[in-house]
Amino acid sequence: MADLLTIAIDGPAASGKGTLARRIAAHYGLHHLDTGLTYRGVARALLASGQPLDDVAVAEAAARALDLAGLDRGVLSAHGIGEAASKVAVMPTVRAILVDKQRTFAATPPGAVLDGRDIGTVVCPKADVKLYVIATPEVRATRRWREIEANGGDADYAGILADIKRRDERDTARAASPLRPAEDAHLLDTSEMDIETAFRAAKAIIDERLASRANAE
């Protein structure tokens, strides 16, 4: 599988990892998977059918039934679904089912950019390049607030900031695949960067990593 290229992008909510992942995938001609949508897809299925978010057997069935090709970003990006997703994401068996699907996706030539919480540590530990994207909670809340307002929604900054902090806590404290940088991840703090600057910084890291790997071969 020497020809397969995998780029792992992890980070907390609204750090900009999805925006970066899409740009990077387009630039390098790779597939892209926002793995957050897979957890959101499971949560949405449970919410839509009125089922509890803490029943492991029910969540496992929803995870098994999930079709990666049918994930609708428009529906799944609703703010409330993120909170529900972080609840089903604590279940190790649900994670195992989704990680299997994510790895199958990553193995499709010519390779992929995957973004999430555990890509560099669990899903693709041998990824060619790993980025860990961060920004302060206040910057991230402002970005999410702007996003909701731009989409015509009614956003409450204090509520969004509280939600982001609660999700950070749940994602970093859980026993199964907690959010943390892989040892070989490159840290990218985008607090003071706009989207274009963050993309250039990420591209510089990736190009350098790919060049040093090519020189070593």
Ligand X SMILES: Nc1ncnc2c1ncn2[C@@H]1O[C@H](COP(=O)(O)OP(=O)(O)O)[C@@H](O)[C@H]1O
Ligand Y SMILES: Nc1ccn([C@@H]2O[C@H](COP(=O)(O)OP(=O)(O)O)[C@@H](O)[C@H]2O)c(=O)n1
Residues within the annotated binding site? 11-19
**Which H/E stretch holds residue 198?**
helix 195-216
Q: Tokens 């991230």 appear where?
A: 140
Nearest Cα residue to 6 out of 161, 125, 135, 179: 125
Ranges within 163-182 binding ligand Y (CB under 6 A): 167, 171
Query: Please, are residues 106 and 57 in contact by the beta-carbon 8 Å criterion?
Result: no
Query: Judged by CB under 6 A, does residue 13 bind ligand X?
Result: yes
Query: Judged by CB under 6 A, does residue 116 bind ligand Y?
Result: yes
Query: Judged by CB under 6 A, does residue 164 bind ligand X?
Result: no
Tokens of 27: 């630039």
Query: Judged by CB under 6 A, does residue 198 bind ligand X?
Result: yes
**Least distance from C-beta 214 to ligand X, angstroms?**
29
In sign, the C-alpha dihedral spanning 91, 95, 98, 100 is: negative
**Least distance from C-beta 17 to ligand X, angstroms?**
4
Instruction: Give 34-37's long-range contacts (Cβ < 8 A, gap of 24+).
Output: 34/71, 34/73, 34/115, 34/116, 35/98, 35/102, 35/114, 35/115, 35/116, 35/117, 35/119, 35/123, 36/82, 36/85, 36/115, 36/116, 36/117, 37/71, 37/73, 37/76
Q: Of residues 16, 41, 82, 120, which one binds ligand Y by CB under 6 A? A: 82
Q: Of residues 39, 105, 132, 145, which one binds ligand Y by CB under 6 A? A: 39
**Least distance from C-beta 82 to ligand X, angstroms?**
8
Q: Of residues 15, 35, 102, 121, which one binds ligand X by CB under 6 A? A: 15
Residue 16 interface partner, choices ligand Y, ligand X, none, CB cut-off 5-8 Å depending on type: ligand X
> Site residues (CB under 6 A) for ligand X?
11, 13-19, 143, 147, 190, 193-195, 198
> Site residues (CB under 6 A) for ligand Y?
13-14, 18, 35-36, 39-40, 82, 85-86, 89, 116-118, 167, 171
